Amino acid sequence: MRGFALLTWAACALSIAAIGCGSQQATPALEQQAAPVAAASVAPADRQAEFGRFPDREFIRRYLDKLEWRITEGNKLGVRTAVVEGDPSKPGFYITINRFPPGVMSRPHYHPDERWGIVLKGTWYTGEGKEFTPDKTEGLKPGDYMRHPAGWPHFDGALDEEVLVAIGGYGPTSATVIDGGELFGRSKPE
């Protein structure tokens, strides 16, 4: 039950972050609303979608223990991803959960979209910059939040325990590794 509550909280928080405080797309929408000519040229259904209200959509529920986990970015180190909402490869809002096994982190990379993350399980270690320094990361606990600005190099993952992180953004998304190598690496020598 705790996992479902955390998943629900994370989905709500990511949605609020995407709609209210992190989306660069929200500002033009608000400006259009203030200008009657611009607002009239946008279909009502599209306007509702811009602000995250979808009255014609049905309720959905996703259960953490029933998600379909797939290998992330073809890695061989055990990082897996489950899609909770949307499709990260297509335009629009998405939520995924990344599962990092102990001792595995992403290496320095960046994304084309701003992303919002909430820790669901374990301590998620996060670092900024182009240099891979797992020993200089900052740990975030379950319920903690982090924003990754679009285009900013960072790295993150697990040290001593499994970590689950809910990540949301507006797709399509991708990860560009700074040195062109593998996205995931060992956070500690084996």
Window from 24-33, 35-44, 61-70 with minimum mean pLDDT? 24-33
- Those residues whose C-beta lies under 8 Å from the C-beta of residue 34, and which sit 6 or more positions away, are none
pTM above threshold 0.85: no
Task: Please give the CATH topology (third level) of the domain spanning 1-190.
Answer: Jelly Rolls (2.60.120)
Residue with tokens 């602000």: 51
pLDDT for position 188: 81
Phi, psi of 9 (to 5 degrees): -60, -45
H-helix or E-strand spanning residue 39:
helix 36-40
pLDDT tens digits, 79-95: 999 999 999 999 999 99
Domain definitions of the chain by residue range: 1-190
pLDDT over 80 (residue 16): no
CB proximity list for 170: less than 8 A, separation 6 or greater: 18, 23, 25, 91, 92, 93, 94, 113, 114
Q: What is the mean pLDDT of residues 133-141?
A: 97
Q: Which residue has the higher pLDDT, 49 or 166?
A: 166
pLDDT exceeds cutoff 90 at 135: yes
User: How high is the pLDDT of residue 162?
Assistant: 98
pLDDT, average across residues 98-111: 98
